[in-house]
Structure 1
């Protein structure tokens, strides 16, 4: 059995988060895939990397030693993958907009890679709300946008979904729901609920509450994800947010747990948008191809294998 980069990534995520289930959420894969990868890695090395308990996992002495080497290997791999991938035709300027959630939690890493791969493309960046993004795409004051595609309404805007991010229940550590399976909205309707408002998150939330003909017990509306994180972690309420913005710890160092809810709560979709009749320049095509290769093509290959 050969060591794989996937095993190292799953091991590092589990070591940093301290729970296999939360690492699986962070990696956007199944819990069983993480468990199998770690078990295979331990078999290959002939040592236990983690101590298991009902509270999660913690590194053994050998695990801590191996983690340092795993970091070095993954850093070297990332550096190799980030070698400039230049294209003589990919030059020009692209006016690229993003909404708050995309800009804050998704785009920076990819902007850095794009700047290395395509040094001849100059990107002018903007952050707008969805309505302003649609208006600026329509009047051609921006070229492309990375947005929450399910929120788009303008008939002249075309979109291409890149990936979906599950929305889950956020709750403080040791909440009574932690041991409950098959959670549904009816279970949490009386819980103090913190409602995020940025990027029309409150409107998206009310759609699935109304589908169940329920009304959440909202105690706070806020545009700050960190405020939601701290409120939940300190036991003041629960929230429903996507894996894209999830982090297991609040600023105070308190843990946040998550659970998947029933299928009434749909995932959040992230993708590219442009004016329907927009003529793509070589620079725009390069950016679109970068995201397609990173998100759409792996999904298509996975579908062919399954």
Structure 2
């Protein structure tokens, strides 16, 4: 896919082409880029002329379907646009002060206790850096990390794909959450065997659900799962209402659910294996100066804890 002699694609053409692939139509891409649909269509047509190939299959009722050549171009275009962005920042970064946007993924259940502090520390120590935070499941975030759509991610180590480079931040210990009315809520610690036949409200945001069940099966237990939820706070609220118990790795500083009902957290006896919380990046993608600064900041936040 070589350009025709004497012609070269422009960054703007590539930018509008990438927007069209992301949004699936010229109209939607135009709205996102604050231009007219004709401007997006013209940019794509010009690229097709430059490369002498078809980038989209256009269907009036179904929008755009990217061709094989188009999919190949979009990856190269994204890299080139990112490099152009980095060049702009580098030219204005003569004092070596980190500046610009850093994309950080965070496993959703960890975000509430990590991201606010990271945001505060970044504002204080890296004032010219803008954080772009994305929360989600480890599987989804990992794919974006491997494809270069995230600079780094914070998650439990379990469930991470092979090949990512991780730095441990701290060890998380699993604990049991019980409703205040539960007969075992007055004890300092609780055995999982004593809860085996109780209803379990399972946090099932991958990989949490599978990991919890694996830990219990390793103890020879067969939990009675009555409900699964991807929401940490929904699970806590269900527990507070007395519908069952749950297992969590992350801790909160409040005993109350969203509804104002008490949730009692108790240590597990005998204790289960801890799980590392890590910050990871893709070693195949070189970290920018500002991303390196944010990663170092994240690590420093937990060095004294």
Shorter-chain-normalised TM-score: which range?
0.5 to 0.7
Alignment of 1:206-285 (within 5 A): 206-245=213-252, 247-263=254-270, 265-285=272-292
TM-score, normalised relative to structure 2? 0.63
Tell me the CA shift for residue 292 of structure 1: 2.1
Tell me the CA shift for residue 266 of structure 1: 2.9
Distance of 1:132 and 1:218 partners within structure 2: 25
The alpha-carbon distance between structure 1 residues 174 and 126, as it changes in their structure 2 partners (threshold 3 A), is: closer
The alpha-carbon distance between structure 1 residues 140 and 191, as it changes in their structure 2 partners (threshold 3 A), is: same
Distance of 1:133 and 1:257 partners within structure 2: 31
Distance of 2:149 and 2:257 partners within structure 1: 38
Larger Rg, first or second structure (1 or 2): 2
Distance of 1:91 and 1:252 partners within structure 2: 41
SS at match of 2:112: helix
Pairing partner for 1:189 from 182, 193, 196? 196
Distance of 1:253 and 1:126 partners within structure 2: 28
Task: For residues 67-108 of structure 1, give each alpha carbon's deviation from its aligned partner in whole angstroms, at most 9, with x where no partner exists.
Answer: xxxxxxxxxxxxxxxxxxxx9522233222222113333212
In structure 1, the residue matched to 2:102 is 94
Number of aligned positions between the proteins: 211
Alignment of 1:26-175 (within 5 A): 88-152=96-160, 154-175=161-182
Aligned structure 1 segments of 4 or more residues deviating by more than 6 angstroms = none
RMSD over aligned CA atoms reads 2.2
Distance of 2:145 and 2:301 partners within structure 1: 24
Task: For residues 231-251 of structure 1, give each alpha carbon's deviation from its aligned partner in whole angstroms, at most 9, with x where no partner exists.
Answer: 211222111113434630123
In structure 1, the residue matched to 2:87 is none
In structure 1, the residue matched to 2:183 is 176
Distance of 1:116 and 1:257 partners within structure 2: 35
1:249–1:256 contact (8 Å) kept in structure 2: yes
1:166–1:242 contact (8 Å) kept in structure 2: yes
The alpha-carbon distance between structure 1 residues 280 and 263, as it changes in their structure 2 partners (threshold 3 A), is: farther
| Unpaired stretches in structure 1, ≥5 consecutive residues | 1-86, 300-306
| Unpaired stretches in structure 2, ≥5 consecutive residues | 1-94
TM-score, normalised relative to structure 1? 0.63
